[in-house]
Structure 1
Amino acid sequence: MKVAVIDLGTNTFHLIIAELSAKEPEICYKTNLPVRLGEGKINDNFIIQEAFERGLLALEKFSLIIKEHQVELVKATATSAIRSAENGINFVKAAKNYAGIDINVISGDEEAGYIFKGVRATGLINQTSLIMDIGGGSTEFIICTPEELLWKKSYNIGAARLMQAYFHSDPINEADQNAITRHLDSELSDLKEALNLYQPKHLIGSAGAFETFTGMLYPELNLKEIKHYAIDIPAYQALSATFIASSHGEREKMPGLIRLRVDMIVMASILTDYILSAGNFEQLSLSTYDLKMGVLADLQA
C-alpha cells in the first residue's frame, strides 16, 4: 500500500510518500517547504495571516503530489505551532476545505512517542540514550534503551519560541544568553532529575538542527543516504561556539547553513550545549529519522 505522511512542523512542512512492504517502508518521494508557521506571534499562541496562507499553499502543493503518486492513505500530523495556537483549529478546518487534507493535531506526549519510533528504526539506540528533537515550537526529550522507552516529555522551548522571546542582540550578547539559561533552568528541572536517575551516556539529536551541525562538520556526507552518524563532541562544541559568537550577516555567508536556520541555529546551539552540560554524555549522534519516520514506522507495524 502506498501511503503519504505529512509533518506540519512550526518551521517546515514535510511530505514523505512510501510503499509499505513486508520488511520496511520503501521511500518513493520526499520534499519539504519552509512555511514558518510560528512567524511573529508563536509565543502569543497565534498563527499570523501570512503564515496561515503559506501553510495552506504548501498543503495544496502536497495534495497535488499525493494525487500524482496515487496514494491510498494520508496521515498528516500537526505539532506545537498548531496545537497551541488560538486559531489552530481554524487552520485544520481550512486545510480540509482548501487542500482536502485531514490533519491530526497530536499532543507533545504523542509527538515524543513518534520521535522515539523514528529514531529506533535507524538501529542507532545501542545503550541508555537521550533523544533530543529541537523543533520551532517545542523540543522533545526521550530517555530509552534498545528495548524500551523509559521517560519522555515535550517542552515549549522550541527554537522559534526562544528566538522571539530572547534573541534581541546581534551577535547574541551575554545578557540574552543568560536569560535563555535561566528559562531553561526553570523549565527543565524534571528532565535533569530523569538524567540523574537513568544516566544516559548517548545523546541522539533527531534531524533538524542536528542535520545542520553534521552537514557543516562533515560536508562530504550525503545526509539523504544515511540513517545516522556519529558527531565528535569537541568538534560540535567548536562549531556551536562559532554560531553563538557570529552575527546574522556572518552566518548568512556560512556554506551549508540554510536560510531558515541562520538565526534559529544559535538557539539550537545554546539548547544543545545546555543539555550536554546537564548530562554525562560520552557520545553524540545524528539520527536522520524523526517524527515523520516514526509515523511511517507506526503505519508499517
Structure 2
Amino acid sequence: MKVAVADVGTNSSHLLLAEAAGSGYRVLDALKDRTALGECLDEAGNLTPEGEDRLAGALTRFRELSGAAGIPEVRVYATSALREAPNGQAVAQRMRERTGLYPAIISGEREGHLTYLGAAHSVEFGPDTLLLDLGGGSLEFARGGPEAPTDVLSLPVGAIRMTRAFLRHDPPPAREVQALQAHVQDLVRPHVSRFAAQPGTRVVLSSGTAEAAAVALNAAHTKATLAGPDGSVNGVSFTVAALGGLLDRTRALRPGARLKVPGFEKRAGTIVAGLAVLHAALDLLGVREVTVSEGALREGMLIEELAQLNAFTGGLSLRQRSVLATAERFGANLAHAGHVAQLARDLLAALARTGESFPDEARPLLTAAAALHETGQIVSQSAHHKHAAYLIRHTDLRGFSPRERELIAQVARYHRRSPPKASHADFAALPAADQALVSRLAAILRVADGLDRAHAGGTQFRELRRARAEDGWTLHVTGATPLDLAGAREKADLWTREFGPLTFRNL
C-alpha cells in the first residue's frame, strides 16, 4: 500500500510518499517547496493572492509527483499560517478548486499530537518524554509516553512570527532578543507545571531550527554528538547551555556571515528568533539536554494513515479482502475508502442500537460498497458512481453471490447524485425488500462519504441521538472540516427520506 501526505507550514510545504513495509514504512520520494506563506499576509492577517499562488503551485507539484508514483490522492494538513488567517478556510476551498487537493486546517493540539507520533518513530521515547516542535507560526509542547502524548499545548511564538514582532534590526541588539525571550517565557510560564522537566524526563526537539542548531554545533565541535555519516542529525544531543552559546554567537553575526554557518543556509533570516524561542522555553522548563528528531508532522501523518489502513484491512473477512484487491486494482483511494467504511459501519451500528432493523448481511454489503464506491473514477470522474456500479457487477468478488454483488453495486451507485428512484431500471428490477435495503444502506453511505469530503481522514463518529419523531436525528462528530460538514449536509437527503431529518454537531 502506498500513501502520500503533505503538510503546509508557515515557511515551507512538504510532500512525503511512502509504502508500507513490514511494521513500518519505506520512503519512496519527498519534495519540499519553500512556499513562505508567512511572508504573504496582509495587515489583517489574510493570505494574499501571491500566497495563494505559491500554495497552489506547490500543491499542483505535489499532486503531479504523487500521481506519477501511482498514488491517486495526497492527504494535506495545513497548520499555523492558514489556521490563523481569517480567510484560511476560504483559501483551502479555493485550493481544492484550483489543484484538486484540499489542505485541511488542523488545530495546534492536533498538530502536536501528530508531530509527537512522528518523532516517537524517529528517536526512542521514554516513559516521560517532552517534545517541543517549533514552526514558523507556533510552538507546540507535547508530553507523554513511548508512543502517544497525554498533554499537548500550542503557543503562537513561531520563528517567523517572533522575528517580525521583535527583531527590528539585523543583526538584532541584545535588548531585542531579550524582549523576545521575555515574551516567550511570559506565555510559557502559566504552563510550567504541565511541562517542566523532571528527573528522567527525555526532552526532544523537532523542527528545522533544531536540526540547524545541531548541524551548527556539530560543525563548531562543541558538546554535540557527532552527526551521522550521511549528515543526518536524527538522535543528535546537545546541552541547553550549548544552545545558549550558539544563540549569542549567531545574534552578533551579520546576515552574510549567518548564511555561511553550516545548517543556517536556508533559515538565516529567522534563525536568531528560532534559537531564542527554543532557549527561552527550555531554560524556563528546567531542561539541561535535548535530543533532535528528524521525524515530525508529516511522518506522524504517514504513520497514522498507514495505521488506519492496517486497521481497515486487518478487520476484513476473506471475501472482503477480495473487495480490497478490487479497489486496489482500480486505483481507489484506500485511505478514503477505509475511513468512509468505518464511518458507515459506525452509523449502521448506531442506527441498530436505536431500534432500526437491518439484516445480518447489511454490514458486509455496506463495507464492500464503501470500499468500492470510487472505483468508477478510473473510467470518468463525472459519472463515477455509475461506472463503479458497472465495474462491481462485472468483477469477480469472491465469496459474494450474484444477488449480493448486485446489491453492492447499487449501494455504491447511489453514494452520490440522484437517490434511488422507481424510474431507474436496475433499481426497479430488485425485489421490494432489496430495494428497501439498498435505499437504507445508500443513505448511510452518502452521509459517511460526505463526512470525509475533504479526504482528510479527521472526522470521527461520536454519537447518534434520536430526538422526537418530528426532530429527527443529531449526529455528533469530532475533527470534521467545514468542507466535510457541508458535504454531509448536502448528502443527507436520502437519510432524511429513509430515517428522518439529520443535523450535525462538530464537537
Query: Under a length normalisation based on structure 2, what TM-score does the superposition of the two structures give?
Result: 0.56
- Rounded to whole Å, the distance in 1 between the matches of 2:230 and 2:39 is 27
Query: Given that residues 240 and 282 in structure 2 are in contact (C-alpha distance below 8 angstroms), is that contact kept between their aligned partners in structure 1?
Result: no
Relative distance call for 1:157 and 1:62 in structure 2 (3 A) is same
1:296 is aligned to 2:306? no
Query: Given that residues 200 and 279 in structure 1 are in contact (C-alpha distance below 8 angstroms), is that contact kept between their aligned partners in structure 2?
Result: no
State the Cα deviation string for residues 251-276 of structure 1 (Å, max 9, x = none).
123233223x1121111111111122
Relative distance call for 1:43 and 1:14 in structure 2 (3 A) is farther
Gaps of 5+ in 1: none
Relative distance call for 1:177 and 1:44 in structure 2 (3 A) is farther
- Rounded to whole Å, the distance in 2 between the matches of 1:155 and 1:96 is 28
Q: Which residues of 2 match residues 37-48 of structure 1 at below 5 A?
A: 37-39=37-39, 41=41, 44-48=44-48
1:236 to 228, 238, 243: 243
Which amino acid letter does the alignment assign opposite residue 37 of structure 1?
L
Which amino acid letter does the alignment assign opposite residue 262 of structure 2?
P
Which amino acid letter does the alignment assign opposite residue 167 of structure 1?
L
Equivalent residue, structure 2, for 1:178: 178
Q: Which residues of 2 match residues 5-154 of structure 1 at below 5 A?
A: 5-39=5-39, 41=41, 44-146=44-146, 148-154=148-154
**Deviation of the 1:78 alpha carbon:** 0.4
Which amino acid letter does the alignment assign opposite residue 299 of structure 1?
E
- Rounded to whole Å, the distance in 2 between the matches of 1:142 and 1:295 is 16
Equivalent residue, structure 1, for 2:265: 258
Relative distance call for 1:87 and 1:298 in structure 2 (3 A) is same
Of stretches 32-41 and 216-225 in structure 1, the one that deviates more from structure 2 is: 216-225
Q: Give the SS at the match of 2:185.
A: helix
- Rounded to whole Å, the distance in 1 between the matches of 2:75 and 2:229 is 27
Query: Given that residues 199 and 279 in structure 1 are in contact (C-alpha distance below 8 angstroms), is that contact kept between their aligned partners in structure 2?
Result: no
Q: Give the SS at the match of 1:38.
A: helix
- Rounded to whole Å, the distance in 2 between the matches of 1:225 and 1:234 is 22
Query: Given that residues 11 and 36 in structure 1 are in contact (C-alpha distance below 8 angstroms), is that contact kept between their aligned partners in structure 2?
Result: yes
- Rounded to whole Å, the distance in 1 between the matches of 2:62 and 2:20 is 19
Q: Give the SS at the match of 2:119.
A: helix
Relative distance call for 1:42 and 1:265 in structure 2 (3 A) is farther
2:280 to 259, 263, 274: 274
Relative distance call for 1:147 and 1:64 in structure 2 (3 A) is closer
State the Cα deviation string for residues 201-247 of structure 1 (Å, max 9, x = none).
33211031111111222356456756432224444333222112222
Q: Comparing both chains, which one has the higher relative contact order based on Cα–Cα distances under 8 Å and sequence gaps of 6 or more?
A: 1
**Deviation of the 1:113 alpha carbon:** 0.6
**Deviation of the 1:142 alpha carbon:** 0.8
Relative distance call for 1:112 and 1:223 in structure 2 (3 A) is farther
Aligned residues: CA RMSD: 2.2
Which amino acid letter does the alignment assign opposite residue 153 of structure 1?
L
Looking at secondary structure, tell me which structure has more strand per residue.
Answer: 1
Which amino acid letter does the alignment assign opposite residue 289 of structure 1?
G
Of stretches 40-49 and 175-184 in structure 1, the one that deviates more from structure 2 is: 40-49
Q: Give the SS at the match of 1:218.
A: helix
Relative distance call for 1:26 and 1:272 in structure 2 (3 A) is same
**Deviation of the 1:198 alpha carbon:** 5.7
Asked which structure has the greater CA Rg, the reply is: 2
The percent of aligned pairs where both chains have the same amino acid is: 25
Q: Give the SS at the match of 1:65.
A: helix
Query: Under a length normalisation based on structure 1, what TM-score does the superposition of the two structures give?
Result: 0.91
Relative distance call for 1:200 and 1:149 in structure 2 (3 A) is farther
Relative distance call for 1:299 and 1:213 in structure 2 (3 A) is same
- Rounded to whole Å, the distance in 1 between the matches of 2:100 and 2:36 is 21
Aligned positions, number: 300
Relative distance call for 1:232 and 1:191 in structure 2 (3 A) is same
Query: Given that residues 201 and 280 in structure 1 are in contact (C-alpha distance below 8 angstroms), is that contact kept between their aligned partners in structure 2?
Result: no
Q: Give the SS at the match of 1:214.
A: helix
Relative distance call for 1:228 and 1:196 in structure 2 (3 A) is closer
Gaps of 5+ in 2: 220-226, 308-507
Which amino acid letter does the alignment assign opposite residue 243 of structure 1?
T
